[in-house]
Amino acid sequence: MPTFFNKYYPVRKLLFFLGEGVLIFSSVFGILLFFTGWSIFVIAPNEHIIRAFIVTLIFQLSLYFYDLYDLRKPGTTTDTFIRMMQAFGVGCIILAFLYALFPSIIISTSLFWKSYLIICISLLGWRSLYHLVLEKKIFVREVIIIGTGETAERISQEVNANQEFGVVISAYIGNAASFFAQGIAPVYERLGDIRQHPQLAKVERIVVALDDRRGTMPIHDLLDSKLQGKLIEDGVTFYEAIVDSQVPVQHVSHV
């Protein structure tokens, strides 16, 4: 899972963003190429590319500033369509200013609206497909949480509330009497217990979310997991990377 500026970005979210850019660019470029012909493209290929790129850049920035890339709480198709039209409206105003300043990048009105129609249809279809991926939990990463205290609960709440993050908690290691963990995932007393479950043994990511590590850290089991190639992460760091915020000092694990 890529990390930029200490913040996690799920691969499927990056693919969603890039895919949307490709759809916008292809819509504009395809319309320009279809209606102006190959002869003009061969003479000046950069003109079509630059025009399509500028529309793509402005439209995606508009979608970003309208929070249409924050899909933690995906809205209805109608709500998405309305917000997308608002974002594109702002994008069209920005493009109008750019066209006034740089007439050489202007796209004719008829070709622009043809491109606009295709962009709207393709993006609605793309977003509907992405929402389906989120709902069906396709392409998710499984993690095992060591701990059933407050730090583990914070992580659990954020992961379960944010489908877009692309993480599913497969098991907890700790106190089986923990209230919050009941019904979310199975709870095991020791990390070594998961070896009896082939599906859990395949999980490649382990998050250490103990509120107090003194005398409770399963060092030997963690070393064995590390030798098996599993990724071991600190719970506080993991949580901060998800929500881009700080955990209060009193919750930072003691070494």
List all residues 6 or more positions away from 27 whose beta carbon is below 8 Å from its beta carbon.
115, 118, 119, 122
Q: Are residues 95 and 26 in the same domain?
A: yes
Q: Are residues 22 and 49 in the same domain?
A: yes
Asked whether residue 81 is domain-assigned, the answer is: yes
Cβ atoms of 66 and 87 within 8 Å: the answer is yes
Token pair for 188: 């095991």
pLDDT at 183 over 70: no
pLDDT at 1 over 70: no
Q: Are residues 154 and 220 in the same domain?
A: yes
Q: How many percent of the chain have pLDDT more than 90? A: 30
Alpha-carbon dihedral angle through residues 51, 126, 68, 118, given to the nearest 10 degrees? 40
List all residues 6 or more positions away from 110 whose beta carbon is below 8 Å from its beta carbon.
none
Q: How many percent of the chain have pLDDT more than 70? A: 86
How crowded is the C-beta side of 70, counted as CA atoms within 13 Å? 9
pLDDT at 200 over 90: no
* Residues 113, 91, 122: CA angle, nearest 5 degrees: 55
CATH code for the domain of 209:
3.40.50.20
DSSP structure class, residue 44: -
> How many domains is the chain partitioned into structurally?
2
Q: Are residues 113 and 44 in the same domain?
A: yes
Per DSSP (E only), the strands in the chain are: 3-4, 7-8, 141-146, 167-173, 187-188, 205-208, 231-234
Q: How much is the pLDDT for 14?
A: 84
- Rounded to whole angstroms, the Cα distance separating 211 from 214 reads 9
pLDDT at 138 over 80: no
- Rounded to whole angstroms, the Cα distance separating 13 from 71 reads 9
Q: How much is the pLDDT for 71?
A: 73
222-230 — which CB contacts under 8 Å span 24+ positions?
222/146, 222/191, 224/192, 225/191, 229/204, 230/203, 230/204, 230/205, 230/206
pLDDT at 206 over 80: yes
- Rounded to whole angstroms, the Cα distance separating 116 from 7 reads 33
Asked whether residue 146 is domain-assigned, the answer is: yes
pTM, two decimal places: 0.75
What's the domain range around 54? 7-135
Chain mean pLDDT for the chain: 82
Residue 93's alpha-carbon distances to 33, 72, 88, in angstroms, are: 24, 28, 9
Residue after which a domain boundary falls, among 74, 108, 135: 135
* DSSP H helices in 173-245: 198-201, 219-227, 235-243
CA-nearest of 227, 72, 224, 238 to 147 is 238
* pLDDT tier, 154 (very low <50, low <70, confident <90, very high otherwise): confident
